[in-house]
Amino acid sequence: MQTLKIAIQKSGRLNEKSVALLKNCGLSFENYKSSLISPVSNFPLEILFLRDDDIPEYVQDGIADLGIVGENVINETEVDVAYLQRLGFGKCSLKIAIPNDSNIQSLGDLDGKAIATSYPVILKKFLKENKLKADIRTISGSVEISPGLGMSDAICDLVSTGGTLKSNGLRAFADVLSSEAVLIGRKGDENNPVIEELIQRVQSVLRARDTKYVVLNIERKNLETAVSLLPGIKSPTVVPLAEEGWVAVHTVIPEQDFWEKISGLKAAGAEGIVVMPIEKIIL
Ligand code: PRT
Ligand code: ZN
C-alpha cells in the first residue's frame, strides 16, 4: 500500500490533541519535537510536523495528503481542500470585539472604523457580506492590545474562554466564524483505501469519546421502564444476576444526555450504577 503523509501542528494548541487522536487510532509513532517527519510503524502513513498556517496549502499542493488544522486557518488561506471529518477539539470563535467604553452599538457603527486582526481575508469577506467599509489593520499577534494603544477601534480575533478579551478591557460584539479542528484531504482522494481506513478509525474514536459504557443492577419487574430509557447501540444487554428477580443491564449512553438518563434510571429503581469510558466504537 502507498504510504501517505498527514500534516499536524508541530507545537501549539492543536499539537497534543492531534497526536492523542492519531495514537488512539492505533498509530504507533515517535512524537519527536525536533524532527519534521515521523514514520508510523504499523500503518502506511508518515506524520509531518508543521506550523499550522502551512498545513492547508501543503495539503492543497499535494506535499501532504491529509492535515489536521483549525477551520479559521483553512478559511484564511482560501485553499480548496476536502473536509473529511470535524474533530471536536480546538473549538473557538472569531469575533469582533470592542473596548468596554466604546460607543459602537450596532454593526453599522463599524463603518469607517479601524479593526485590527490577524485574519484580514475572513474579516474582509464578513465586512463585504454586511456591506460595511472599515479599515482593516493586519497585525500578526497581540491583536487585543491594539485598541488600548490607539491603533484601532475594534479587533477581530479568536476567542475561546473570553479571558483575554476581559483582561484587556474588551467585550465580544459580533460573531464572524465558529471554528474547530478538522481533518482535511485533497478533493477526489476520499476513496483512497488508506484514507478510508483512517477516517473509519477516527470516527470510532470520536464516537467513543462522546459516549459512556454503563452497567447497572435492577429488579426484573422494573426492567421494561429502564430499557425504554436506553437506546444502546442496538438494544441493551440484559444478564441475570445470582439473586433471584434481579438483572444487570449493560448499555452505552451518549455524553450529552448522560445525567438525564442516569436520573431516569435511578428513578426506575437502578442500583450499583458503574460508568466506564469507552476506547473505541466500531459499527
Ligand atoms: O506556531 P503555529 O503557527 O503552528 O501556531 P499558532 O501560534 O498560529 O496557533 P495556536 O497554537 O495558538 O492555535 C492553533 C489553533 O488553535 C488556532 O488556529 C485555532 O484553530 C485554535 N484555537 C482554539 C485557538 C484558540 N482556541 C485561542 N483561544 N487559537 C488561538 N487562541 C488565542 C486567541 O488568538 C487569543 O489570543 O487565545 C487567545 C484567546 O483565548 P481566550 O481563552 O482568552 O478567549
Ligand atoms: Zn499559526
- Confirm or reject: Cβ of 53 under 6 Å from ligand 1: yes
- The pLDDT-based confidence of 234 (bands split at 50, 70, 90) is confident
For the Cβ of 166 lying below 6 angstroms from any atom of ligand 1, the answer is no
In a domain, 283, yes or no: no
**Residue type at 144?**
E
CATH number at residue 261: 3.30.70.120
Looking at residues 45-72, what average pLDDT do you find?
97
71 and 188 belong to one structural domain: yes
Residue 203 belongs to what domain range? 4-89+180-208
pLDDT at 232 over 70: no
Q: Do 84 and 13 lie in a common domain?
A: yes
How many domains is the chain partitioned into structurally?
3
Q: Let me know whether 175 and 96 are in one domain.
A: yes
Residue 33 reports pLDDT greater than 80: no
Q: How far is the CA of 243 from the centre of ligand 2 (A)?
A: 60
Give the end of a domain, one of 179, 197, 226.
Answer: 179
Instruction: Note the ligand closest to the C-alpha atom of 163.
Output: 1
10 in a structural domain:
yes
Mean pLDDT of 223-248: 88
Count of C-beta atoms within a 10 Å radius of residue 63: 15
The CATH number of the domain where 114 resides is what? 3.40.190.10
Tell me the per-residue pLDDT of 16-25, one tens digit each, with 9 for 90 and over. Answer: 999 999 999 9
Same domain for 197 and 67: yes
Query: 67 or 209: whose pLDDT is higher?
Result: 67
- The per-residue pLDDT for range 99-119, each reduced to its tens digit, is 999 999 999 999 999 999 999
For residue 7, count CB atoms less than 10 angstroms from its CB and return exposed for 0-12, middle for 13-18, buried for 19 or more.
buried
Distance CA 72, CA 120 (A): 11
Query: Do 147 and 130 share a structural domain?
Result: yes
Using a 6 Å cutoff on CB, does residue 8 contact ligand 1? no
Å from CA of 221 to ligand 2 middle: 59
For 83, half-sphere exposure in the C-beta direction (CA atoms, 13 angstrom radius) is 11
Q: Between 96 and 227, whose confidence is greater?
A: 96
Dihedral over alpha carbons 85, 87, 92, 95 (to 10 degrees): 10
Q: Is the pTM value of this prediction over 0.85?
A: yes
Are 177 and 94 contacting, i.e. CB atoms less than 8 angstroms apart?
yes
Determine contact, residues 14/52, Cβ cutoff 8 Å. yes
Ligand 1 atom with the smallest distance to the CA of 91 is 23
Whole-angstrom Cα distance, residue 75 to residue 49? 21
- Quick: pLDDT tens for 251-265: 999 888 889 999 999
Same domain, 163 and 203: no
Regarding whether 83 and 13 lie in a shared domain, the answer is: yes
Residue nearest to atom 28 of ligand 1 (CA): 160
Compute the distance from residue 111 Cα to the ligand 2 centre, in Å: 29
Question: Could you say which of 179, 200, 219 is where a domain stops?
Answer: 179
Task: Evaluate if residue 154 carries a pLDDT over 90.
Answer: yes
Confidence at residue 159, expressed as pLDDT on a 0 to 100 scale: 98
